[in-house]
A = this chain, B = another copy of it.
Amino acid sequence: MIDATSLELTRDGLPPMPPGPPHEERHLTRNATTRDLVIGTADGLTVPFALAAALSGAVAANPLIVSAGVAVVAAGSVAMGLGTYLASRSDAEHYAAERAREEEESRLYPEREKWEVAAILHRYGVRGEVLRQAVESIAADRKKWVDFMMRFELDLSEPDPNRTAASAAATAGAHVAGGLIPLLPYMLFGATAPALTVSCALAGAALLGFGWLKARATGLPPMRGALQSLGTGVAAAVAAYLVASLVGR
Protein backbone atom coordinates (compact mmCIF):
# COMPACT_ATOMS: atom_id res chain seq x y z
CA MET A 1 0.00 0.00 0.00
CA ILE A 2 1.39 3.40 -0.96
CA ASP A 3 0.66 5.64 2.00
CA ALA A 4 1.57 9.18 2.89
CA THR A 5 4.01 8.03 5.55
CA SER A 6 6.21 5.99 3.25
CA LEU A 7 6.04 8.76 0.64
CA GLU A 8 7.43 11.24 3.12
CA LEU A 9 10.18 8.90 4.26
CA THR A 10 12.09 8.91 0.96
CA ARG A 11 14.26 11.83 0.00
CA ASP A 12 12.51 12.66 -3.27
CA GLY A 13 9.01 11.72 -2.18
CA LEU A 14 8.63 8.46 -4.10
CA PRO A 15 8.37 5.28 -2.00
CA PRO A 16 10.57 2.26 -2.79
CA MET A 17 9.36 0.11 -5.69
CA PRO A 18 7.20 -2.86 -4.63
CA PRO A 19 8.04 -6.25 -6.17
CA GLY A 20 6.53 -6.90 -9.62
CA PRO A 21 6.40 -9.82 -12.05
CA PRO A 22 9.60 -11.89 -12.24
CA HIS A 23 10.20 -11.35 -15.98
CA GLU A 24 10.84 -7.65 -16.38
CA GLU A 25 12.40 -7.69 -19.82
CA ARG A 26 9.23 -6.62 -21.57
CA HIS A 27 10.64 -4.13 -24.03
CA LEU A 28 13.52 -4.76 -26.31
CA THR A 29 15.91 -1.91 -25.75
CA ARG A 30 18.37 -3.33 -28.19
CA ASN A 31 20.94 -1.05 -29.76
CA ALA A 32 19.13 1.38 -32.05
CA THR A 33 21.73 1.23 -34.82
CA THR A 34 21.52 -2.57 -34.96
CA ARG A 35 17.79 -2.14 -35.34
CA ASP A 36 18.23 0.32 -38.21
CA LEU A 37 20.69 -2.03 -39.88
CA VAL A 38 18.46 -5.09 -39.60
CA ILE A 39 15.30 -3.31 -40.72
CA GLY A 40 17.10 -1.53 -43.56
CA THR A 41 18.64 -4.76 -44.85
CA ALA A 42 15.33 -6.62 -44.70
CA ASP A 43 13.52 -3.79 -46.49
CA GLY A 44 16.30 -3.16 -49.01
CA LEU A 45 16.29 -6.73 -50.29
CA THR A 46 12.82 -6.97 -51.74
CA VAL A 47 12.69 -4.53 -54.64
CA PRO A 48 16.09 -5.31 -56.22
CA PHE A 49 15.35 -9.03 -55.94
CA ALA A 50 11.96 -8.60 -57.60
CA LEU A 51 13.37 -6.36 -60.32
CA ALA A 52 16.16 -8.80 -61.18
CA ALA A 53 13.78 -11.75 -61.24
CA ALA A 54 11.32 -9.83 -63.44
CA LEU A 55 13.99 -8.75 -65.92
CA SER A 56 15.44 -12.30 -66.05
CA GLY A 57 12.11 -13.65 -67.15
CA ALA A 58 11.06 -10.80 -69.37
CA VAL A 59 13.82 -9.42 -71.46
CA ALA A 60 17.30 -8.85 -70.37
CA ALA A 61 20.84 -10.20 -70.17
CA ASN A 62 22.84 -10.18 -66.96
CA PRO A 63 24.87 -6.97 -67.47
CA LEU A 64 21.70 -4.98 -68.00
CA ILE A 65 20.02 -6.64 -65.01
CA VAL A 66 23.02 -5.65 -62.92
CA SER A 67 22.92 -2.05 -64.20
CA ALA A 68 19.21 -1.74 -63.47
CA GLY A 69 19.64 -3.47 -60.12
CA VAL A 70 22.47 -1.29 -58.86
CA ALA A 71 20.64 1.81 -60.11
CA VAL A 72 17.62 0.86 -58.01
CA VAL A 73 19.82 0.05 -55.01
CA ALA A 74 21.60 3.41 -55.29
CA ALA A 75 18.36 5.37 -55.77
CA GLY A 76 16.61 3.52 -52.95
CA SER A 77 19.52 4.04 -50.54
CA VAL A 78 19.77 7.75 -51.28
CA ALA A 79 16.01 8.21 -51.04
CA MET A 80 15.85 6.21 -47.80
CA GLY A 81 18.94 7.76 -46.19
CA LEU A 82 18.08 11.36 -47.11
CA GLY A 83 14.44 10.74 -46.27
CA THR A 84 15.34 9.43 -42.80
CA TYR A 85 17.75 12.30 -42.23
CA LEU A 86 15.36 15.04 -43.33
CA ALA A 87 12.43 13.49 -41.45
CA SER A 88 14.31 13.24 -38.17
CA ARG A 89 15.65 16.76 -38.58
CA SER A 90 12.16 18.11 -39.08
CA ASP A 91 10.90 16.03 -36.13
CA ALA A 92 13.48 17.77 -33.98
CA GLU A 93 12.45 21.22 -35.27
CA HIS A 94 8.80 20.41 -34.82
CA TYR A 95 9.46 19.37 -31.23
CA ALA A 96 11.40 22.56 -30.49
CA ALA A 97 8.71 24.77 -32.08
CA GLU A 98 5.85 23.08 -30.22
CA ARG A 99 7.82 23.27 -26.99
CA ALA A 100 8.40 27.02 -27.40
CA ARG A 101 4.71 27.46 -28.10
CA GLU A 102 3.62 25.48 -25.03
CA GLU A 103 6.03 27.48 -22.93
CA GLU A 104 4.68 30.77 -24.26
CA GLU A 105 1.09 29.64 -23.72
CA SER A 106 1.89 28.62 -20.15
CA ARG A 107 2.91 32.26 -19.60
CA LEU A 108 0.14 33.96 -21.56
CA TYR A 109 -2.74 31.61 -20.73
CA PRO A 110 -1.75 29.86 -17.50
CA GLU A 111 -5.35 29.09 -16.50
CA ARG A 112 -6.02 27.49 -19.85
CA GLU A 113 -2.86 25.41 -19.73
CA LYS A 114 -3.63 24.33 -16.17
CA TRP A 115 -7.09 23.38 -17.33
CA GLU A 116 -5.53 21.24 -20.06
CA VAL A 117 -3.43 19.41 -17.46
CA ALA A 118 -6.59 18.98 -15.39
CA ALA A 119 -8.52 17.65 -18.39
CA ILE A 120 -5.88 14.95 -18.98
CA LEU A 121 -5.81 13.76 -15.35
CA HIS A 122 -9.59 14.03 -15.18
CA ARG A 123 -9.88 11.57 -18.04
CA TYR A 124 -8.19 8.95 -15.85
CA GLY A 125 -10.45 9.51 -12.86
CA VAL A 126 -8.71 12.20 -10.78
CA ARG A 127 -11.34 14.55 -9.32
CA GLY A 128 -12.07 17.45 -7.02
CA GLU A 129 -9.52 18.80 -4.58
CA VAL A 130 -6.96 16.12 -5.47
CA LEU A 131 -7.21 17.13 -9.11
CA ARG A 132 -6.78 20.79 -8.23
CA GLN A 133 -3.73 20.15 -6.07
CA ALA A 134 -2.14 17.72 -8.53
CA VAL A 135 -2.48 20.37 -11.27
CA GLU A 136 -0.95 23.03 -9.00
CA SER A 137 2.00 20.72 -8.18
CA ILE A 138 2.69 20.11 -11.86
CA ALA A 139 2.31 23.80 -12.76
CA ALA A 140 4.61 24.86 -9.91
CA ASP A 141 7.67 24.00 -12.03
CA ARG A 142 7.38 25.40 -15.56
CA LYS A 143 9.78 22.86 -17.06
CA LYS A 144 7.81 19.92 -15.66
CA TRP A 145 4.55 21.58 -16.66
CA VAL A 146 5.70 21.96 -20.26
CA ASP A 147 7.20 18.43 -20.18
CA PHE A 148 3.80 17.14 -19.13
CA MET A 149 2.00 18.96 -21.94
CA MET A 150 4.50 17.85 -24.58
CA ARG A 151 4.26 14.24 -23.56
CA PHE A 152 0.61 13.85 -22.60
CA GLU A 153 -1.28 16.52 -24.55
CA LEU A 154 0.75 16.60 -27.76
CA ASP A 155 2.18 13.06 -27.56
CA LEU A 156 5.64 14.26 -28.57
CA SER A 157 8.87 12.76 -27.20
CA GLU A 158 12.10 14.69 -27.39
CA PRO A 159 14.08 13.41 -30.40
CA ASP A 160 17.71 12.44 -29.88
CA PRO A 161 19.75 14.85 -32.07
CA ASN A 162 22.70 12.46 -32.19
CA ARG A 163 20.63 9.71 -33.77
CA THR A 164 19.78 11.68 -36.92
CA ALA A 165 22.88 11.24 -39.04
CA ALA A 166 23.82 7.83 -37.62
CA SER A 167 20.35 6.47 -38.24
CA ALA A 168 20.27 7.82 -41.81
CA ALA A 169 23.71 6.40 -42.62
CA ALA A 170 22.83 3.00 -41.10
CA THR A 171 19.58 2.86 -43.07
CA ALA A 172 21.26 3.79 -46.35
CA GLY A 173 24.17 1.37 -45.81
CA ALA A 174 21.85 -1.46 -44.89
CA HIS A 175 19.81 -0.83 -48.05
CA VAL A 176 22.95 -1.18 -50.14
CA ALA A 177 23.96 -4.40 -48.35
CA GLY A 178 20.46 -5.88 -48.64
CA GLY A 179 20.08 -4.86 -52.26
CA LEU A 180 23.38 -6.37 -53.37
CA ILE A 181 22.54 -9.85 -52.05
CA PRO A 182 20.12 -10.81 -54.87
CA LEU A 183 22.28 -9.04 -57.49
CA LEU A 184 25.54 -10.88 -56.74
CA PRO A 185 24.72 -13.99 -58.80
CA TYR A 186 24.02 -11.80 -61.86
CA MET A 187 27.48 -10.28 -61.43
CA LEU A 188 29.16 -13.67 -61.12
CA PHE A 189 27.36 -15.83 -63.70
CA GLY A 190 27.32 -15.30 -67.45
CA ALA A 191 23.97 -16.95 -68.17
CA THR A 192 20.66 -15.69 -66.83
CA ALA A 193 19.04 -19.00 -65.78
CA PRO A 194 21.63 -20.09 -63.16
CA ALA A 195 21.95 -16.50 -61.91
CA LEU A 196 18.18 -16.36 -61.39
CA THR A 197 18.18 -19.70 -59.54
CA VAL A 198 21.01 -18.73 -57.21
CA SER A 199 19.54 -15.26 -56.72
CA CYS A 200 16.19 -16.74 -55.67
CA ALA A 201 17.92 -19.10 -53.22
CA LEU A 202 20.10 -16.33 -51.77
CA ALA A 203 17.27 -13.82 -51.55
CA GLY A 204 14.94 -16.41 -50.04
CA ALA A 205 17.45 -17.31 -47.35
CA ALA A 206 18.23 -13.65 -46.66
CA LEU A 207 14.54 -12.69 -46.51
CA LEU A 208 13.93 -15.47 -43.99
CA GLY A 209 17.02 -14.57 -41.95
CA PHE A 210 16.54 -10.80 -41.90
CA GLY A 211 12.80 -11.18 -41.48
CA TRP A 212 13.55 -13.27 -38.40
CA LEU A 213 15.99 -10.69 -37.01
CA LYS A 214 13.68 -7.78 -37.87
CA ALA A 215 10.82 -9.48 -36.02
CA ARG A 216 13.05 -9.99 -32.98
CA ALA A 217 14.13 -6.35 -33.12
CA THR A 218 10.52 -5.15 -33.27
CA GLY A 219 8.97 -7.62 -30.83
CA LEU A 220 7.06 -9.84 -33.28
CA PRO A 221 7.16 -13.67 -33.19
CA PRO A 222 10.37 -14.36 -35.17
CA MET A 223 9.07 -17.29 -37.24
CA ARG A 224 6.08 -15.27 -38.38
CA GLY A 225 8.35 -12.33 -39.20
CA ALA A 226 10.57 -14.60 -41.30
CA LEU A 227 7.63 -16.01 -43.24
CA GLN A 228 6.10 -12.56 -43.73
CA SER A 229 9.35 -11.20 -45.18
CA LEU A 230 9.66 -14.17 -47.51
CA GLY A 231 6.00 -13.91 -48.51
CA THR A 232 6.28 -10.20 -49.23
CA GLY A 233 9.43 -10.75 -51.31
CA VAL A 234 7.81 -13.54 -53.33
CA ALA A 235 4.63 -11.52 -53.88
CA ALA A 236 6.65 -8.49 -55.00
CA ALA A 237 8.72 -10.62 -57.40
CA VAL A 238 5.64 -12.29 -58.88
CA ALA A 239 3.91 -8.93 -59.36
CA ALA A 240 7.03 -7.42 -60.93
CA TYR A 241 7.47 -10.42 -63.23
CA LEU A 242 3.85 -10.39 -64.39
CA VAL A 243 3.78 -6.66 -65.04
CA ALA A 244 7.15 -6.63 -66.81
CA SER A 245 6.13 -9.59 -69.02
CA LEU A 246 2.86 -7.92 -69.89
CA VAL A 247 4.50 -4.62 -70.80
CA GLY A 248 7.50 -6.31 -72.45
CA ARG A 249 5.35 -7.99 -75.04
Name A residues whose Cβ lies closer than 8 Å to a Cβ of B.
1-4, 7-8, 12-15, 17-21, 26-27, 43, 46-47, 50-51, 54-55, 58-60, 63-64, 66-68, 70-79, 82-83, 86, 90, 94, 98, 101, 105, 108-109, 111-115, 118-119, 121-135, 137-138, 140-141, 144-145, 147-148, 151-152, 154-155, 157, 218-220, 228, 231-233, 235-237, 239-244, 247-248
Contacts and interface: CB of A to CB of B under 8 A. Distances in A.
B132 A243 contact: no
Top 3 closest pairs, chain A to chain B, by CB: A50-B75, A54-B71, A20-B112
Contacts of A244: 67-68, 70-71, 74
B71 A50 contact: yes
A244 B69 CA distance: 8
Contact of A125 (B73, B76, B144): B144
Contacts of A83: 43, 232
B112 A235 contact: no
B68 A228 contact: no
A71 B240 contact: yes
A1 B77 CA distance: 54
A237 B123 CA distance: 51
A247 to B, nearest CB: 5
B82 A235 contact: yes
A147 B124 contact: yes
A29 to B, nearest CB: 13
A219 B87 CA distance: 11
SS class of chain A's interface: helix, strand, loop or mixed? helix
Given A1-B111, A94-B219, A232 B79 contact: yes
A51 B14 CA distance: 59
10 contacts: A4-B129, A15-B115, A18-B111, A18-B112, A20-B112, A50-B75, A60-B64, A78-B235, A127-B137, A130-B133
A155 B72 CA distance: 36
Nearest to A8: B128
B115 A18 contact: yes
A118 B157 CA distance: 20
A127 B55 contact: no
B2 A115 contact: yes
A1 B82 CA distance: 48
B79 A3 contact: no
Contacts of A68: 51, 54-55, 60, 68, 244
